[in-house]
């Protein structure tokens, strides 16, 4: 691989767009493809080259992928019209998606059969966190491949870490997003309790952020929970349910009881069943409040989300 590798990027959703822009802002030579071509246009001013098809990225040294499911990843890599459908191949594929350990292992086996290095590199954060340069990146796969791609992983956020060989980064991401769900469930529950008892919701939320229990996560969700701005989508209930299902499947596979995660999974499944679709998953607050006989109104206050660059 050259000292300054060329990079391809597949998948420009909320996360993928922000991450690809991080590479472009750091002077990388990046070509991009997205199923909806119009979503690639905003990257042109940053220097991105937009290609017509996934196979047009096969001559890149490293190809990053950021898609929704294992099936999506297999499609963009292996199926007709996929990255590898014309015989050319990159040196390495780096996948940042949230998929199962088993699905990732299958992708690894096929890529390695074709002589292509494979690194799993899921991230902690959402599109807004990515834009602020505050993602955390974890990776697994061959150590030499990780070291080769590490400078580019470092461009995506504030930290990067190698966990070991194989699919360990998938386990990390599954555990992370399971905790992600449990925290929002608890945060919303106690916010409803505090408000029904008479504490203004925005005051309570900010006080938690200032306590030992506060985190980057609780801080960046606070404006949404205070002002009920669920149309500003960072992550949908359906995607969170997918990740919780991955978490429960991993727990079963490894013989680990997770009662808090199981209860959260049912709560998020109820959101999906009630038709919450293209809204932020923090809309959970509204349903929990209804269960307590409480109708919420926006606080209409200006609150920092802690993500200013």
pLDDT of 68-111, one tens digit each? 899 999 999 999 999 999 999 999 999 999 999 999 999 999 99
pLDDT-derived band at 2, boundaries 50, 70, 90 = very low
pLDDT in tens, 160-173: 999 999 999 999 99
- Domain of 95? 7-166
Quick one: pLDDT at residue 309? 47
Placement of tokens 């206050």 in the chain? 301
Answer whether residue 297 is part of any domain: no
Q: Are residues 150 and 188 in the same domain?
A: no
Backbone angles phi, psi at 216, to 5 degrees: -55, -40
The pTM score is: 0.89
Number of structural domains found in the chain:
2
Q: Are residues 136 and 181 in the same domain?
A: no
Q: Are residues 131 and 268 in the same domain?
A: no
pLDDT-derived band at 307, boundaries 50, 70, 90 = confident
User: Length of the chain, please?
Assistant: 309
Residue 150 CB burial class (10 angstroms; 0-12, 13-18, ≥19): middle
Quick one: pLDDT at residue 114? 97
Q: Are residues 74 and 204 in the same domain?
A: no
Name which of 256, 236, 285, 272 is nearest 14 in CA terms: 236
- Contact assessment for residue 293 and residue 192, using Cβ atoms and an 8 Å cutoff: no
Name which of 195, 240, 190 is nearest 218 in CA terms: 190
Q: Are residues 74 and 187 in the same domain?
A: no
Which residues lie closer than 8 Å to 100 by C-beta, 6 or more apart? 70, 170, 174, 246, 249, 250
- 117-120 and 123-124 strand pairing: unpaired
pLDDT of 3 above 70: no
> Torsion angle, CA of 141/133/268/97, rounded to 10 degrees?
-30
Q: Are residues 154 and 185 in the same domain?
A: no
Q: Are residues 227 and 284 in the same domain?
A: yes
The pairs formed by 294-298 with CB atoms below 8 angstroms and a separation of 24 or more are: 294/192, 294/195, 294/196, 296/195, 296/201, 296/228, 297/228, 298/226, 298/227, 298/228, 298/229
The CATH number of residue 123's host domain is 3.40.50.720
Name which of 244, 274, 257 is nearest 183 in CA terms: 244
pLDDT-derived band at 250, boundaries 50, 70, 90 = very high
Backbone angles phi, psi at 139, to 5 degrees: -145, 155
Average pLDDT of the chain? 95
Q: Give the residue-averaged pLDDT of 246-259.
A: 96
Q: Are residues 145 and 89 in the same domain?
A: yes
Q: Are residues 53 and 197 in the same domain?
A: no
Answer whether residue 298 is part of any domain: no
Of the two residues 267 and 3, the one the predictor is more confident about is: 267
pLDDT-derived band at 308, boundaries 50, 70, 90 = low
Quick one: pLDDT at residue 240? 96
Q: Are residues 192 and 115 in the same domain?
A: no
Q: Give the residue-averaged pLDDT of 234-258.
A: 95
Answer whether residue 296 is part of any domain: no
Answer whether residue 306 is part of any domain: no
pLDDT in tens, 103-156: 999 999 999 999 999 999 999 998 889 998 899 999 999 999 999 999 999 999
């Amino acid at each position: 691989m050259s000292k300054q590798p060329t990079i391809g990027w597949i998948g420009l959703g909320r996360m993928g767009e922000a991450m690809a822009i991080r590479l472009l802002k750091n002077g990388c030579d990046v070509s991009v493809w997205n199923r909806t071509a119009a979503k690639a246009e905003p990257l042109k001013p940053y220097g991105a080259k937009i290609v017509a098809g996934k196979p047009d990225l096969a001559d890149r040294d490293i190809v990053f992928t950021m898609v929704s499911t294992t099936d999506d990843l297999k499609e963009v890599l292996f199926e007709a019209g996929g990255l590898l459908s014309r015989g050319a191949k990159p040196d390495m594929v780096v996948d940042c998606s949230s998929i199962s350990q088993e699905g990732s292992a299958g992708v690894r086996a096929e890529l390695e059969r074709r002589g292509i290095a494979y690194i799993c590199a899921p991230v902690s954060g959402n599109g807004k966190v990515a834009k602020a340069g505050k993602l955390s990146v974890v990776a697994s796969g061959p150590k030499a491949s990780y070291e080769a791609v590490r400078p580019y992983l470092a461009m995506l956020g504030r930290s990067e870490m190698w966990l070991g060989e194989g699919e360990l980064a998938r386990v990390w991401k599954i555990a992370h997003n399971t905790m992600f769900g449990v925290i929002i469930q608890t945060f919303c529950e106690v916010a409803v309790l505090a408000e029904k008892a008479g504490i203004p919701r925005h005051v309570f939320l900010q006080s938690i952020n200032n306590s030992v229990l506060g985190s980057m996560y609780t801080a960046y969700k606070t404006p949404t929970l205070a002002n009920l701005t669920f149309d500003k989508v960072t992550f949908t209930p359906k995607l969170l349910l997918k990740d919780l299902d991955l978490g429960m499947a991993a727990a079963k596979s490894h013989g680990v009881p997770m009662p808090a995660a199981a209860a959260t999974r049912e709560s998020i499944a109820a959101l999906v069943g009630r038709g919450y679709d293209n809204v932020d998953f923090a809309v959970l607050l509204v349903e929990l409040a209804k269960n307590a006989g409480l109708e919420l109104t926006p606080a209409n206050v200006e609150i920092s989300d802690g993500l200013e660059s």
